[in-house]
Amino acid sequence: MSSLNDFFEKVISVKVPEDYSYIDILDQTLLPGTIKRIELRTREEIWEAIKRLQVRGAPAIGVCAAYGLALLASYIKEETYDAFYKAFITEKEYLASSRPTAVNLFWALNRIDATAQANKDKPVEEIKQILFREADAIREEDVQISRNIGEIGFELLKDLKKPGKEIGILTHCNAGTLATAKYGTATAPMYMALEHGWAPEDMHVYCDETRPLLQGARLTSFELYNSGIPTTVQCDNMASILLKSGKIDIIFVGCDRVAENGDAANKIGTSGLAILAHHYGVPMYICAPSSTIDMATPTGEEIPIEMRDHDEVTAMWYKERMAPEGVDVFNPAFDVADHRLLTGIITEKGLCTAPYGDAFRALGIH
């Protein structure tokens, strides 16, 4: 257990010092070759860290945004609440412009905003400290959320366990400790299995490479390999032959936003994986904190899809450009897995199955 705790300490995505003077993040753009933590102190540094995916994963973005807004609020000089709040809203809107799809970003910023409003009768300096404590609460709640998701997913793994046979698990992108405050969402069932005494060899995780930003190859395999779990990386377009082989017993993926009907927006390629899983009869579960469930969005058609820079496809990972200069590039960051293709959606409140809107409401998600 101590070695597992050491592992978690190594890969925690977002930390803050006791005096809250900066945000300490693990720069995920440098992994796996370089493990480097950087300190964010300015509004531009925080915005860039979220935009450039130095901090990424919906829950981790939320935690970073909460601390970021609290930190920027601490710099505001105005002493009256009205003047303070006007400047505060400017900073909130600035951070909100960094990523359009991850609902946790807006959820966390709105929660810090609500905390500021709820305490408007207090002195401004006291409000600033309260905002940091609220950010702490968001982080601590995210750890528990991941644990709860992991325990539910672990129950699914237990149902698959057979003597002398490893459980084949497939995942896409990174929904691990790097993407959350701890444990991850899609990786949480595997980490819970280790905490419950399973040997790492009881599982074998296959990681989709996840083009074009390679979060599966760079991040998920980095995590799982360092945790001791047998790990295999494959190109995204190899998922079909792998699923056909019968090696995969279950699929866990994370998500950035879930619509009321259960359509789930996640890193590009998730929709194709859901189609393949449905075709081959492999159960596929979305691991979704309730904060990512957007009941105000009826279907996946209404989820905005972020379009990213051409160079991520044509040049970012290559010594020489791999497509003609000037060629057009289609580079959506996300796609939407149709709810009809999913086996279930695991939230920290419970496992949901179709009809998803009714299941969400039954768990108190509104």
Catalytic residue among 256, 263, 294, 335: 256
Residues 266-315 have pLDDT tens digits of 999 999 999 999 999 999 999 998 988 999 999 999 999 999 999 999 99
Beta carbons of 47 and 39 less than 8 angstroms apart: no
- Rounded to whole angstroms, the maximal C-alpha distance in the chain is 67
Active site residue 256: yes
In this structure, the chain runs to a length of: 366
For the domain bounded by 150-362, which CATH number is listed? 3.40.50.10470
Q: Which residue's structure tokens are 């993040």?
A: 25
Among left, alpha and beta (phi > 0; psi -120 to 50; other), residue 17 is: beta
Confidence band for 362, pLDDT divided at 50, 70 and 90: very high
Homologous superfamily assigned to 10-141: translation initiation factor eif-2b, domain 1 (1.20.120.420)
Beta carbons of 182 and 224 less than 8 angstroms apart: no
Every domain of the chain and the residues it spans: 10-141, 150-362
pTM: 0.87
94-108, 233-247, 256-270: segment of lowest average pLDDT: 94-108
Residues 141-173 have pLDDT tens digits of 999 999 999 999 999 999 999 999 999 999 999
Beta carbons of 303 and 297 less than 8 angstroms apart: yes
10-141 and 150-362, same CATH topology: no
